[in-house]
Structure 1
Amino acid sequence: MSYPLKVLVVEAHPDEAEMYAGGTMRRLADRGVAVKFMSLTNGDAGHYQMDREPLKRRRAREAYTAARHLGVLDYEILDNHDGELMPDLAVRTAVISSIRRWQADVVITFHDECPGHLDNRAAGRIVREASGFCTNGNICPEVPPLAQAPICLKMIDYGSLDVHQHDVVIDVGPSIDAKLKACAAHATQFYEFAPFERGFIDEAPTIGNWAAERAFILKYWPEFMYALPAMSGGHQFAESFQLADYGRKTSVEDVLKLFAL
């Protein structure tokens, strides 16, 4: 099948692409774009009760369910421990291979130099370093190189709120319910682990009451659902991306034209 565009979102843990870029990816999928998510860890530390192995399996099931809500065609999860991601040769090689196999036109990931989760920063660094080898056939010779480097964008997370530049702002009002349902699919994170750590687990909604689930996520994750004041356009719900200083040279206008949203 021919696709007008192929996008790869590289995250550190299953659920992050959904939270930080899910609305945009749903809108792109709706216009026929091929979207893939790649998590560099299996998320096996993200709970206060579950042990690593059963949590890893549960989080994979959550990710695949979330993908269906967003029209994501593939969700690759590397079997690296949560909390132990290192920007080493093995993971960089896996990312180079994935970018090539997907033939990605656009790669989206985290900022690599700012505060926040060390896995997220490592994921950003890995993509930065991998992007320089995507067209070099002598690196990872078992997978054909790309003809041109992908455009690279950075997505926001908790640690990058103060440094992120809102270069490309996407109205996700048309896809907000799909994004919220994708987030809700990650019950371990949105209804269990984060509420426990942040002290509001007693407010967690009953699964199956969608109105309550939706309101809960909007209440406690507003900075990643609603448009931030720094974003332009007057949207109620928005996501934004910063042009990376690596990958194929591009401009805000070129990215907006490419996304055609």
Structure 2
Amino acid sequence: MKKKIRLFFVFILIGLPMIGQNDEKKVLNIIAIGAHPDDCDFKFGGTAALFAKMGHNVKFLALTSGDAGHQNMGGGVLAKRRRDEAKKAAEILGIEYEVLDNHDGELLPTLNVRHQVIRRIRDWNADIVLGLRANDYHPDHRNAGIVVQDAAYLVIVPNVTPDTPPLEKNPVFLYMKDNFKKPNPFSNDIAIIIDKVYDQKMTALAAHESQMFEWGPWTNGIKESEVPKGKKERLAWLKNGMGKETFDETEVAAIKKWYPKKDVSNVEHAEFLEICEYGKQPTEEEIKKLFPMLGNL
């Protein structure tokens, strides 16, 4: 009997570190939710590429088809074009991309849209959910942010959208970066250096041709004749338009926190995230496990 007990405890002692090792090697499921095709590419494209390179599963979800975002075309023709662009961007980043049929410019935080979001988060078995903050210049962005907030708790409630099984644990919900100050500025809780994948991110953005080289320039008063025609020239033009990032004090502090051995003066590009008060509240150690690229030079 004593021998059996000893063997039991030996099994426990051996098994515990194995459990820890398996946790560290867990494949993560990340879903980023924006209002339009290209929203997540702008704000999270670099980090998404890093996750994908490490073997994790990343999905971008656009809550509208983007069928209003152009000066010369719209409706179903534009929606199809933007879906095709999103597919190309997904291939470049190594991720999945889904574009819903809700109309661009008309997104509201209705029960129907909330249920669409809950189902996608559950189906993806998400460990991390990223959304937009609810203070933004575009009503679709604001409402997309509200919908994700509304879903944050309900993804674990069995009787809400009972056609999809609830998650067993609440994911970590995060906001993607914006520069709006009112009613409160963005909190740079997590910083991810993306220098190694910046070209990949920009190439993915360039795949959204209707937005980067047509609609975006038009809304900013740039003439069509000023936009290059060739792919290489367009990519260079897009990079030049983005410019070299300059980091404020809070961004520098965030980079130093998560990359203590990195010389911040050598960092050119980074993406920042804010921890949402809804959903799981992660410790620093949990954040490091959820973002295994942190600290890597």
TM-score normalised by the chain length of structure 2:
0.81
Name the structure 2 match of 1:156. Answer: 177
Tell me if 1:7 matches 2:26. no
- Of 58, 61, 69, which residue of structure 1 is paired with 2:92? 69
Which residue identity does 1:5 align to in structure 2?
L
The whole-number CA distance in structure 2 between the counterparts of 1:160 and 1:60 is: 32
**What are the within-5 Å matches in structure 2 for residues 78-97 of structure 1?**
78-97=100-119
The answer to which of 152-161 and 56-65 deviates more is 152-161
Gaps of 5+ in 2: 1-24, 256-263
Name the structure 2 match of 1:118. Answer: 139
**What are the within-5 Å matches in structure 2 for residues 1-261 of structure 1?**
4-72=27-95, 74-112=96-134, 114-157=135-178, 159=180, 163-201=185-223, 202-208=225-231, 210=232, 212-222=233-243, 226=245, 228-230=247-249, 231-232=251-252, 233=255, 234=264, 235-261=267-293
Aligned-CA RMSD value:
1.8
8 Å contact from structure 2 (residues 67, 76) kept in 1? yes
- Give the secondary-structure state (helix, strand or coil) at the position aligned to 1:132: helix
The structure that has the greater radius of gyration is 2
- Deviation digits for residues 90-140 of structure 1 (CA, Å, limit 9, x no counterpart): 00000000000000000001001x231110110110000011111111111
TM-score normalised by the chain length of structure 1:
0.92
The whole-number CA distance in structure 1 between the counterparts of 2:283 and 2:245 is: 25
Report the Cα offset of residue 252 of structure 1: 4.6
- Give the secondary-structure state (helix, strand or coil) at the position aligned to 1:9: strand
The alignment covers a number of residue pairs equal to 254
Gaps of 5+ in 1: none
Which residue identity does 1:45 align to in structure 2?
A
Which residue identity does 1:193 align to in structure 2?
W
- Deviation digits for residues 51-96 of structure 1 (CA, Å, limit 9, x no counterpart): 2211000000000000011110x21111011000000000000000
8 Å contact from structure 1 (residues 116, 160) kept in 2? no
Bigger fraction of residues in helix: 2
- Give the secondary-structure state (helix, strand or coil) at the position aligned to 1:215: helix
The answer to which of 29-38 and 230-239 deviates more is 230-239
Q: Which has the higher contact order (CA 8 A, sep 6+)?
A: 1
- Deviation digits for residues 14-68 of structure 1 (CA, Å, limit 9, x no counterpart): 0111111000000010001100111000001110001221100000000000001
8 Å contact from structure 1 (residues 92, 129) kept in 2? yes
